[in-house]
A and B are shown apart, each in its own frame.
Chain A
C-alpha cells in the first residue's frame, strides 16, 4: 500500500478541489471523494504501510488495525452523508473546510505515531474553525475564536506531552500509555479537551450551534469521536475515565434539560453520549472497549441524523429556539420522521443502532460487578430519552402550533436524512457487520427477551415522567451558565477591573511624580537659577577659602588611604 491508498489524503485533496470548483463537477467531487475514501478504508489491511524519518524520529504516518479501520470507515461514510446534505450550501468554503477536517480526522485514526497524531490534531482544529467561519455571522466568528483558543491550548498540551513522552521513552509509537507522570497526564488532558470532558466541555455547546445549518452536522462527527479513538488506543482501562465519563453523561443531561436552543440541546447530548464511550474506555474490558467503539460508530450516524433534522428546520425557518418552534410535523413530515428515528436511536430503543452498541457498555459494567456504575448508566439511559429522545422532537415538531408551515427541504437533504435513518434502523436489526468491524471478537447477543423488556420499561417510563412533569420542563428564554463563564465573563471582568485600577494608580502616581518633579525643579532653580547660589558672584577670598578646603581634604585623604 502507498500514500495513494490513504483515505484521508483523498478527502484533503478533494478539499483543495472543492475550494475552486463550481456546479456539477463540484457535486461529483464532493460525493465521489468520500466514496473512494470509504472503499479504501474498508479495504485497509492491518500493519504499517508507510514509515518516515523526521528530526531523527521514526514515524509511521500510515498504519492500520481493526480499531483504526472502524473509525476510518465511519468517518468516510460520515463525510459522504454530510456532503450529500450540504450540496446546496451556498458557502463554498464550508464543504472544503469540512473535507480538510474529515481528512485530518482520518489521518489521526491511521497515525501509527504520536507526532503524526499531533499534526493531524492541529489540522483538524484549523479545518473545524474554518467550518465555523463559513457560517459568516458575527456570533459564529466570536464563538470560533473561543473555540480556536481552547483547541490551540489543547494542542499545546498535546505537544508538550508528546515531546516529554518521546524524550522519556525514546519512541514515538502510539501505544497504550499508563497514567504515570506529567507527560502522559498532559496527553490525556489534551485528548479530554477534544472529547468535551467536563469541566473542559463548554467549548462544544458554545461553538457548534453557531455553525451553519449544514456545518454542525460535520462538527458533531469528527472532533469528539477522534478523541474517543485516541482514548481507546492510548488509555484503555484508565480508571479515572469512568468517573470523567459519568460526569459528562449527567452534565449533558442536566444542561440539555434546561436548554432552549434545539441545536444546543443536541450539542449537550454529544457530551452526554461521548460520556458513555469514555466510561466504557475507563472500564477497559474487551466488552467495554468494543462497546465504546461500536457506540462511537452508531453515535456518529444518529447524531448526524438528528443534526440534519435540526439543520433542515433551521434552513427552512431560520429559527433555533424551542420557544419559537413547534407543530412542524404538519408540513415537514419527512424531517420529523427522520428526527424521530434519530431520537429513538440515541435513546437506544430496541431495533435501532443505539441499542446494539450502548448496551455493551452496560453489559461490561455488569460483568465487572460495578454496581454503582451500572446503576448510573441505567439512570443516564433513561435521561437520554428524556433530554434528547423526546425533548428534541417534541419541542421542535409537536408541542404548540407555532404557526410556521415550512416545507421539507430539497432532495439532497432529504436523501441524506433517509440514508442515515436507514443506517440507524438497519444496524439495529443487522448488527453483525458492525460487530465484525469491532477491535475484539464479540461474544454478545443484544436481543434477549429480558434485556429488551427491561430497556422498554426503562425508556417508556422515562417518557411517562417527561409528560407527567412537562410543566417543569417548559422552555424559557434562558441559557445556563457553564464553565465558559470563566473566560467569557469572569476573566474579562477581572481584566477590566485590573485595568481600571492600574489606570487610577498611574493617574495618582503621575500626579505625585509631577509634584516631586516640581519640587526638584524648584530646588534646582534655587541652586542654579539667575538668583541661585551657584550663579551669584562671589568675592575672591571666598574662592581662596574654597581651594584651601579642597587641598586640606586632599591631604587628609592622602594620609588616610
Chain B
C-alpha cells in the first residue's frame, strides 16, 4: 500500500512549484497596490519579502550561535532529581 499522497515526491515537487508561484505573485502584487507607508523603505520593491527572508536567515544564524554556546544534552538537569 502506498503512503499518503501528500508525501509522494511528485506531490512535494508540485507543492514547491505552487509555493514559488505564490511567492512571486505576492511580490508582483506589490506593484499593483497603492502604498501608504510609514517609512520610506516600505516603498522599495519587494521590501517586505526581502526583509522577511533576511530577518529569518539572521535569526537562524543567531540561534545557531547561541546553540553552540548554550546547547546541552537534554539529560543535563536529570541528576538534580534528588
A contact set with B: CB distance below 8 Å: 138-139, 142, 250, 253-255, 257-258, 260-261, 321, 327, 329-330, 366-367, 369, 371, 374, 378-379, 382-383, 386, 401, 448-450, 453-466, 469, 472-473, 476-482, 488-489, 492
Interface-central residue, A261, A329, A469, by most chain B CB under 10 Å: A469
- B51: chain A residues at CB < 8 Å are 378-379, 382, 458
- B53: chain A residues at CB < 8 Å are 461-462, 464-465
Number of chain B residues close to chain A: CB under 8 A: 47
Q: In the bound complex, do residue A254 and residue B63 qualify as a contact, i.e. CB atoms below 8 Å apart?
A: yes
- B22: chain A residues at CB < 8 Å are 460
* Interface SS, A side: helix
Q: In the bound complex, do residue B35 and residue A450 qualify as a contact, i.e. CB atoms below 8 Å apart?
A: yes
CB-nearest residue of chain B relative to A370? B38
Q: In the bound complex, do residue B62 and residue A254 qualify as a contact, i.e. CB atoms below 8 Å apart?
A: yes
Q: Total contacts A to B, CB within 8 angstroms?
A: 148
Quick check: is B49 within 8 A (CB to CB) of the other chain?
yes
Q: In the bound complex, do residue A453 and residue B26 qualify as a contact, i.e. CB atoms below 8 Å apart?
A: yes
A456 to chain B, nearest CB (A): 5
A96 to chain B, nearest CB (A): 28
Task: Return the CB mask of B54-72 against A: 1 if under 8 Å, else 0.
Answer: 0111111011101100111
CA A477 to CA B73, docked complex, whole Å: 6
Quick check: is B23 within 8 A (CB to CB) of the other chain?
yes
Q: In the bound complex, do residue A453 and residue B23 qualify as a contact, i.e. CB atoms below 8 Å apart?
A: no
Q: In the bound complex, do residue A469 and residue B57 qualify as a contact, i.e. CB atoms below 8 Å apart?
A: yes
B28 to chain A, nearest CB (A): 10
Q: In the bound complex, do residue B56 and residue A466 qualify as a contact, i.e. CB atoms below 8 Å apart?
A: yes
CB-nearest residue of chain A relative to B66? A254
CA A455 to CA B22, docked complex, whole Å: 13
In the complex, which of the residues B4, B38, B72 contacts A366, with contact meaning CB atoms closer than 8 Å? B38
A139 to chain B, nearest CB (A): 8
Q: In the bound complex, do residue A453 and residue B73 qualify as a contact, i.e. CB atoms below 8 Å apart?
A: no
CB-nearest residue of chain B relative to A380? B55
A291 to chain B, nearest CB (A): 15
B53 to chain A, nearest CB (A): 4
Q: In the bound complex, do residue B55 and residue A462 qualify as a contact, i.e. CB atoms below 8 Å apart?
A: yes
With contacts A138-B81, A460-B26, A488-B77 known, is A465 near B52, CB below 8 A? yes
- A401: chain B residues at CB < 8 Å are 3, 7
CA A257 to CA B59, docked complex, whole Å: 9
Q: In the bound complex, do residue B73 and residue A374 qualify as a contact, i.e. CB atoms below 8 Å apart?
A: no
- B74: chain A residues at CB < 8 Å are 260-261, 321, 477-479
A343 to chain B, nearest CB (A): 15
CA A257 to CA B3, docked complex, whole Å: 29
In the complex, which of the residues A366, A369, A462 contacts B56, with contact meaning CB atoms closer than 8 Å? A462
With contacts A460-B23, A461-B23, A465-B57 known, is A450 near B50, CB below 8 A? no
Q: In the bound complex, do residue A450 and residue B26 qualify as a contact, i.e. CB atoms below 8 Å apart?
A: no
A144 to chain B, nearest CB (A): 14
- B73: chain A residues at CB < 8 Å are 477-479
